[in-house]
Amino acid sequence: MADPGQQVFLSYRREISWPLANAVRGALIGFDVFLDTQSLDSGEFERVILREIEKRAHFLVLLEPRSLDRIGEPGDWLRREIAHALAHHRNVVPLLANGARMPRVTDLPSDLARLPSFNAVSVPHDYFTAAM
């Protein structure tokens, strides 16, 4: 079993960020990274996703422009994953790509209000390896 400090959940907006999420996963050598399209086996989707967030020390959320467009919708999965990570006190690391900026508290639903307080890491495509 992997060292708990080396376990990462990678959250992203699938239709916007899947290629970049896959690259991030590949760059995190030595880490046990959960990426839904690569790591999700059979089972109840919701239960598996939430359990994986709970058991991993680190929660990386990949943000690109438009990633947060639907964040106000209660059933939005990106919102649910971020809220679950915050509620379970994971080490949240926002990864900002392609010109994305950290959202303002006033632009977020109350269950995500703490997100802007976490240090973000810029992941520019021309310095991707250095950022990772």
In this prediction the pTM is 0.92
Structure tokens at 106: 């006033």
H-assigned helices in the chain: 14-27, 36-39, 45-55, 77-87, 128-131
Q: How many helices (H) and strands (E) does the chain have?
A: 5, 5
> Rounded to an integer, what distance in angstroms lies between the CA atom of residue 78 and that of residue 87?
14
**The pLDDT of residue 37:** 78
**Mean pLDDT confidence for 42-63:** 91
Taking 60 as the threshold, does the pLDDT of residue 106 lie above it?
Answer: yes
Taking 80 as the threshold, does the pLDDT of residue 52 lie above it?
Answer: yes
Taking 90 as the threshold, does the pLDDT of residue 130 lie above it?
Answer: no
HSE value, Cβ hemisphere, 13 Å, CA-based, for 59: 24
Structure tokens at 73: 């919708």
In this structure, of 2-11, 38-47, 105-114, the range with the lowest mean pLDDT score is 38-47
Structure tokens at 121: 């890491």
Higher pLDDT, 39 or 110: 110
| Angle of the 45-55 helix axis to the 77-87 helix axis, nearest 10 | 40
